[in-house]
Chain A
Amino acid sequence: MLQDFKDKSKKSLFRTFKMIKKEFRLLRIDPWNLVIALLIPPAIIMLFSFMTEEAGVPPPLPVIVVSNDSNTFINPNNYAESTWDNFSIPYINAVNKSNLLELKVFLNSTEDPYSMEIARQELLLGNINSIIVIPVEFTELLNLGYPGLIECIIDSSRISKIQDNINAVYDSIRIFVNDNNLTPQIKLKGFEEFSVPPGYNQALNANITQLLPLMVFGIANVLTILVIVKENPISRLLLTPIKKSEILISKYFTYSIVLFIQDMGIILATLASGLYIRGSIFELFGALYMIGYSGISMGLFISTLSKSKTEANQLFFASFIIIILLSGLFVPLGSMPIYLNLFAQILPLSHANPLVDSVLSKGTSILEYHFYILLIVSFILNIITFLVFYKRRYEV
């Protein structure tokens, strides 16, 4: 009995090993596919590194300042009229001093009553990002010891840019308050934690947490979506003593090895590009490997489920778009409706970004919630793939 089991296991291992060899042969006859899988990811990281290195700090945001300060202000307490504008020019100086803002034009509404219309037209044309308005009572309020008020009209068509514009305007206010010895009601003192040390490419670090998971998952997915559906001889192989499980295991094993080599290339590229990794490099490798494996699991699942290459491509495209949309890259998971949030929790990329971020920025261990969820999701996909493959009818 035991000997019989041993013999069967030995034969099964032999067949699986030969199938792995066959998979590598098939990979070799399609070298471009392998080049894309192994060389493109490191090349993209290097390209990204050069791109962000040249970019340096983000360019200042173009603005127009419209001042209504010299317009007549009537004090509601004593009905006294004033046209003070002592603080308009100092504020313009502060805007000019700020590295985050680029003053395109300064318009004084007492000289040109259509100042706001001109500024709005520029905003509409996309020549500026925001209009900063100094209101009528600006100097008067500051002189009387009240908090000053600056109005800001932002191009809100791109939601992700709103905060950048507000931050830039705040920067000019900070400079204005400091230069003119004004006392803000609350002073904020910030301390930096987990920041990228000087000498490293900050822009690369800021963006690579999104790029790496997307690239590793996407390429692993693309690499495997056709491996079962396009292999017509599977039906004939099944007329030999080989088992369906051996065919599938050989595919998982082969593409896991490809993934291993791919991740090694990515790690080397990240080191060469000057990426700051707070955690261990092995942790980063482990995180990328897990993300890539979930991509392989997804790819083989699609390949098993599809009846034709076109169907596999369509299914890949549809699933990839949904996975990206619900990954938290565009809308934070917490902001989504609860049903979408729950659905997003079972998608691989939703966990891939926090996993890479935790290693790169925080230096924490990968063996936490996101890693285990990715592991479970991959495992469930593997089980479904095996079931679908077992149920699938192959005829010669």
Chain B
Amino acid sequence: MKKSNLKDIIVNVKNLDVIFKKKKIIHEVSFQVFKGEIIGLFGISGAGKTTIIRVLTCQIKKKYWKGIVSVTNLSPKKKGNHSKILRNVGYVPQLELLNLYYDLSPLVNVEIFASNYGQKKEKARKIAKDLFTTLDIPEDTWKNPLEKLSGGEKKRVSMAIGLIHKPKILFLDEPTTLINYLN
């Protein structure tokens, strides 16, 4: 692990507890992520990996969790920080929760999500094409409805959406599902 000073901490989780209906889903989890670092969360099914990401991406209301959490030095506990945190964060969900517009094309999907970061159509399309090329999504599928793409291609479109605004932090939930080793 590379040596970094405290200023480089981009995600800080200390004594995180998540409680739903009096049931403790997450118990005393602590970790730190430094700039440029890639870390993985490992655990059995239902261990709470996705729940931790949900706390970090402001999806779980503060009444359900306890502890010290900061993402890009901003606490998700404060509602006013949500918009700022989400601008800095990219999230690629699990395959069954991709939540994309399957009737629309990959390009239009990216365009819709990019517009929420203030990106205009031309800029969004340019970035999308670059990302699609990098992620090896065949060009002949870019304008087809997303539902006609394979599971792996859908996952890669989802990754492109997570990267469209060049986030400081990228959360990947089960990123390798359906992605073959060639990609």
Interface residues of A (CB under 8 A from B): 11, 14-15, 18-19, 22, 25-26, 29-30, 232-242, 393-396
Residues of A within 8 A of B104 (CB): 25-26, 29
Residues of A within 8 A of B113 (CB): 236-237, 240
Other-chain residue from A18, A22, A241 in contact with B83 (beta carbon distance below 8 A):
A241
Cα distance, A394 to B100, chains bound together (Å): 14
Closest 4 CB pairs of A and B: A18-B115, A240-B116, A236-B99, A29-B103
For window 101-155 of chain B, which residues contact chain A by CB distance below 8 Å?
A: 101, 103-104, 108, 112-113, 115-118, 145
Are A239 and B91 interface neighbours, CB within 8 A? Answer: yes
- Could you say which of A11, A239, A393 has the most chain B C-beta atoms within 10 Å of its C-beta? A239
Which single residue of chain B is at the shortest CB-CB distance from A18?
B115
Are B100 and A236 interface neighbours, CB within 8 A? Answer: yes
Known: A241-B87, A395-B54. A15 touches B116 (CB 8 A): yes
Which single residue of chain B is at the shortest CB-CB distance from A239?
B91
Residues of B within 8 A of A234 (CB): 99
Are B99 and A240 interface neighbours, CB within 8 A? Answer: no
Are A26 and B59 interface neighbours, CB within 8 A? Answer: no
Cα distance, A396 to B61, chains bound together (Å): 14
Interface string of B77-91 (1 = CB under 8 A from A): 000000100110101
Cα distance, A31 to B65, chains bound together (Å): 45
Residues of A within 8 A of B76 (CB): none
Residues of B within 8 A of A242 (CB): 116
Cα distance, A234 to B103, chains bound together (Å): 15
Known: A15-B118, A236-B100. 15 other contacts (CB 8 A): A11-B118, A15-B116, A19-B115, A25-B104, A25-B108, A234-B99, A236-B99, A237-B112, A239-B57, A239-B86, A239-B89, A240-B86, A240-B113, A240-B117, A396-B59
Cα distance, A114 to B91, chains bound together (Å): 88
Known: A239-B91, A396-B91. A22 touches B112 (CB 8 A): yes
Are A395 and B59 interface neighbours, CB within 8 A? Answer: yes
Residues of B within 8 A of A240 (CB): 86, 113, 116-117, 165
Are A18 and B99 interface neighbours, CB within 8 A? Answer: no
Cα distance, A234 to B99, chains bound together (Å): 8
Are A233 and B116 interface neighbours, CB within 8 A? Answer: no
In whole Å, how far is B172's beta carbon from the nearest beta carbon of chain A?
12
- Could you say which of B89, B100, B104 has the most chain A C-beta atoms within 10 Å of its C-beta? B104
In whole Å, how far is B48's beta carbon from the nearest beta carbon of chain A?
13
Residues of A within 8 A of B165 (CB): 240
Residues of A within 8 A of B99 (CB): 232-236, 396
In whole Å, how far is B175's beta carbon from the nearest beta carbon of chain A?
14
Cα distance, A28 to B133, chains bound together (Å): 28
List 24 A–B pairs whose Cβ atoms lie within 8 Å, in order of A's numbering. A11-B118, A15-B115, A15-B116, A18-B112, A18-B115, A18-B116, A19-B115, A22-B112, A25-B108, A26-B103, A234-B99, A235-B99, A236-B93, A236-B99, A236-B100, A236-B113, A236-B161, A240-B116, A240-B165, A242-B116, A395-B59, A395-B60, A396-B54, A396-B91
Are B103 and A394 interface neighbours, CB within 8 A? Answer: no
Are B97 and A241 interface neighbours, CB within 8 A? Answer: no
Cα distance, A360 to B117, chains bound together (Å): 49
Which single residue of chain A is at the shortest CB-CB distance from B54?
A395
- Counting residue pairs across A and B whose Cβ atoms lie within 8 Å, the total is 66
In whole Å, how far is B26's beta carbon from the nearest beta carbon of chain A?
14
In whole Å, how far is B157's beta carbon from the nearest beta carbon of chain A?
12
Cα distance, A236 to B103, chains bound together (Å): 16
Residues of B within 8 A of A22 (CB): 101, 112
Residues of A within 8 A of B61 (CB): 393
Residues of A within 8 A of B101 (CB): 22, 26, 233
Residues of A within 8 A of B118 (CB): 11, 14-15
In whole Å, how far is B116's beta carbon from the nearest beta carbon of chain A?
4
Are B86 and A396 interface neighbours, CB within 8 A? Answer: no
Cα distance, A215 to B108, chains bound together (Å): 34
In whole Å, how far is A230's beta carbon from the nearest beta carbon of chain B?
11
In whole Å, how far is B92's beta carbon from the nearest beta carbon of chain A?
9
In whole Å, how far is B77's beta carbon from the nearest beta carbon of chain A?
17
In whole Å, how far is B42's beta carbon from the nearest beta carbon of chain A?
20
Cα distance, A61 to B116, chains bound together (Å): 66
Cα distance, A396 to B58, chains bound together (Å): 11
Interface string of B35-64 (1 = CB under 8 A from A): 000000000000000000010010111000
Residues of A within 8 A of B108 (CB): 25
Cα distance, A26 to B100, chains bound together (Å): 12
Cα distance, A234 to B57, chains bound together (Å): 15
Other-chain residue from A19, A29, A30, A239 in contact with B59 (beta carbon distance below 8 A):
A239
In whole Å, how far is B34's beta carbon from the nearest beta carbon of chain A?
23
Residues of B within 8 A of A239 (CB): 57, 59, 86, 89, 91
Residues of B within 8 A of A236 (CB): 91, 93, 98-100, 113, 161
Residues of A within 8 A of B115 (CB): 14-15, 18-19
In whole Å, how far is A388's beta carbon from the nearest beta carbon of chain B?
16
Which single residue of chain B is at the shortest CB-CB distance from A17?
B115
Which single residue of chain B is at the shortest CB-CB distance from A8?
B83
Cα distance, A166 to B88, chains bound together (Å): 78
Residues of A within 8 A of B117 (CB): 240-241
